[in-house]
């Protein structure tokens, strides 16, 4: 029997005090920041603009969905290959404005696709939607999302070098120290999330783990002379900066490259929504609430919000985005689904894009610390995929279910290993391709079953 008085956590319509609100919001920013910034660095978009667009799109998403869906909008990895084909970006170097503008046009049109699908979904029942997007697809996609990021998590720890000022002579020492920082961060975060059960502390294990990891990195800098913490801000630098905004420019090439990716991201968005529905209602049950949060039924609204997020981001010079699994993991770990926390995170993120010292402080978080956090967070994303299938009672002895799950897992994870799937001269995004194959195979089974059930016209 659960003692509902001792259950910590916030349901979507519950609000923490203002002091706690800021702490919880900062934690949400910390977990979305690395991936969002990485997409900007890979695609040639301006980092400060990308950060601002992330906050603005999240703010608009929450308002558009009438504060019913607790999700954070960040830059999507699914679009990277398509965007780079337009911007011709080199890592860490902003692309020319006219190329970014062309990519923006494709991103905006991809948003229109999401909106169109969202409007279509709203005309069908949840039972019909689940036939096309069953737990075998959404659960497997969520699992692939988490596991395909494993390389990114470990890469933050292993790939030390220029970022810490390591030389050939001390590279191995730097890598060993990077592992120490990452493991301290990881173990501390896990222990905080498992054993801190009361009060505000139980709600911020990610932030606490980060702060401890950051402190260890500072001490390591002092002892070893290797710069794991780099604060790229000089007192003479301006206090405020304005993000580099650009306007979209019509481009059919960008349209053909970027627009279709929107279709492929729908299973990912659906998986996130199912995860939230499952965990929010579980918390409501633990807290003794009789209210039912019908989040999964808002798939159409969610896709419309996603599409508008892409349009808003693309209009000012930000990349295409998606609901962030890292933030959902954080909410699942802390049992904090408060919409107001996400609103605060969005507003603070927009502010960070303008405040130079604060941005520099966030940038200074060592990759080893991010890697330690990511091992846990990305693993939780994968585990949530398993939870979806368990909750929906997926029969893993059924040949049809096994075939769908197997294809999504192998294509998705195999494609992640190669950074995409080489196919007739182009690189297909791994998660999107795996999701489409799973959906098509499921549709094939539905058609065959329908034909089998169709009564014979022969008379006896």
Instruction: Report the alpha-carbon distance of residue 412 to residue 421 in Å, rounded.
Output: 9
Confidence band, pLDDT 50/70/90 cuts, at residue 1? very low
What distances in angstroms separate CA 299 from CA 47, 68, 211, 261, one per listed residue? 30, 11, 36, 18
Work out the average pLDDT over 70-79. Answer: 85
460 assigned to some structural domain? no
pLDDT-derived band at 240, boundaries 50, 70, 90: confident
Residue 302 falls within a domain, yes or no?
A: yes
Task: Identify the residue whose tokens are 């606490």.
Answer: 208
314: which 2 tokens? 């693309």
For range 407-421, the mean pLDDT: 86
Per DSSP, helices labelled H in 287-366 are: 299-316, 325-334, 339-352, 356-363
Residue 131: its pLDDT value, please? 85
Domain assignment present for residue 370? The answer is: yes
Dihedral sign for Cα 183, 376, 351, 24, please. negative
312 lies in a domain?
yes
Alpha-carbon dihedral angle through residues 356, 359, 361, 363, given to the nearest 10 degrees: -130
Identify whether 170 is part of a domain: yes
Residues 289-347: tens digit of each pLDDT: 888 898 988 988 999 999 999 999 999 999 988 888 788 888 988 889 999 999 999 99
Mean pLDDT of the 37-43 span: 80
pLDDT digits (tens, 9 = 90+) for 350-369: 998 898 887 777 778 888 98
Average pLDDT, the chain: 86
Stretch 426-449: mean pLDDT:
87
Task: Report the predicted TM-score, pTM, of the whole model to 2 decimal places.
Answer: 0.75
- Structurally, how many domains does the chain consist of? 1
**CA–CA separation, 276 and 7 (whole Å):** 18
pLDDT recorded at residue 460: 45
Q: Which of 242-251, 308-317, 380-389 has the weakest average pLDDT?
A: 380-389
More confident residue, 60 or 381: 60
Q: Among 218, 220, 196, which Cα is nearest to 208's?
A: 196
Task: Provide the domain limits for residue 125.
Answer: 4-451
H/E stretch holding 86 reads helix 80-87
pLDDT (mean) for 383-398: 87
DSSP 420: S
Residue 459 — pLDDT band, cuts 50, 70, 90? very low
Query: pLDDT confidence of 50, banded at 50, 70, 90?
Result: very high
The percentage of residues in the chain with a pLDDT greater than 70, rounded to a whole number, is 94
Contact predicate 297/108, CB 8 Å: no
457 in a domain, yes or no?
A: no
pLDDT 10s digits, 129-146 = 788 888 898 888 888 878
Kindly state the average pLDDT of the residues 242-255: 91
Q: Which residues face 336 on adjacent strands?
A: 10
Whether residue 51 contacts residue 75, with contact meaning beta carbons closer than 8 Å, is answered with no
Helix (H) or strand (E) holding 102: helix 97-121
The answer to whether residue 155 sits within a structural domain is yes
In the prediction, which pLDDT does 38 show? 74
* Class of residue 120 by CB neighbours under 10 A (exposed 0-12, middle 13-18, buried 19+): exposed
Which residues lie below 8 Å from residue 342, measured CB to CB, with a gap of 6+? 25, 28, 58, 62, 70, 71, 72, 327
The whole-number pLDDT of residue 456 equals: 57
Cα of first residue to Cα of last residue in the chain, in angstroms, is: 61
Determine which of 9-18, 39-48, 125-134 has the lowest per-residue pLDDT on average. 125-134
């Amino acid at each position: 029997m659960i003692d509902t008085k001792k259950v910590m956590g916030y349901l979507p319509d519950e609000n923490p005090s203002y002091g706690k609100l800021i702490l919880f919001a900062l934690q949400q920013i910390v977990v979305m920041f690395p991936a969002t910034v990485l997409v900007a660095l890979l695609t040639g978009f301006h980092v400060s603009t990308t950060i601002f667009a992330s906050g603005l799109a999240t703010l608009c998403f929450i308002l558009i969905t009438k504060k019913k869906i607790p999700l954070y909008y960040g830059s999507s990895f699914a679009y990277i290959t398509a965007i780079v084909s337009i911007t011709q970006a080199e890592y860490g170097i902003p692309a020319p404005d006219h190329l970014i503008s062309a990519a923006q046009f494709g991103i905006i049109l991809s948003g229109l696709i999401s909106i169109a699908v969202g409007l279509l979904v709203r005309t069908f029942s949840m039972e019909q939607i689940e036939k096309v997007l069953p737990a075998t697809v959404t659960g497997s996609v969520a699992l692939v999302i988490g596991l395909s990021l494993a390389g990114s998590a470990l890469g933050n720890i292993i790939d030390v070098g220029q970022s810490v000022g390591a030389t050939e002579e001390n590279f191995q020492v730097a890598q060993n120290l990077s592992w120490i920082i990452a493991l301290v961060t990881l173990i501390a975060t896990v222990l905080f999330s498992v054993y801190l059960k009361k009060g505000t502390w139980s709600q911020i294990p990610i932030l606490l783990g980060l702060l401890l990891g950051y402190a260890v990195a500072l001490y390591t800098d002092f002892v070893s002379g290797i710069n794991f913490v780099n604060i790229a801000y000089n007192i003479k630098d301006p206090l405020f900066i304005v993000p580099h905004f650009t306007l979209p420019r019509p481009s059919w090439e960008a349209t053909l490259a970027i627009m279709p990716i929107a279709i492929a991201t729908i299973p990912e968005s659906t998986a996130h929504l199912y995860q939230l529905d499952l965990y929010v209602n579980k918390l409501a049950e633990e807290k003794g609430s009789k209210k039912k949060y019908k989040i999964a039924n808002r798939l159409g609204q969610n896709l419309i919000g996603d599409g508008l997020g892409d349009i808003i981001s693309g209009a000012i010079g930000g990349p295409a985005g998606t609901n962030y699994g890292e933030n959902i993991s954080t909410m699942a770990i802390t049992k904090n689904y408060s919409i107001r926390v996400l609103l605060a995170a969005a507003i603070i993120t927009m502010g960070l894009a303008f405040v130079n010292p604060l941005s520099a402080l966030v940038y200074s978080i060592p990759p080893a610390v991010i890697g330690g956090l990511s091992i846990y967070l990305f693993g939780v994303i994968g585990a949530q995929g398993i939870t979806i299938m368990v909750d929906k009672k997926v029969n893993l002895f059924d040949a049809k279910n096994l075939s769908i799950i197997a294809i999504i897992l192998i294509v998705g994870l195999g494609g992640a290993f190669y950074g995409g799937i080489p196919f007739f001269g182009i690189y297909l995004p791994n998660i999107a391709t795996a999701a489409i194959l799973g959906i098509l195979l499921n549709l094939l089974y539905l058609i065959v079953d329908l034909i089998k059930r169709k009564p014979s016209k022969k008379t006896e």
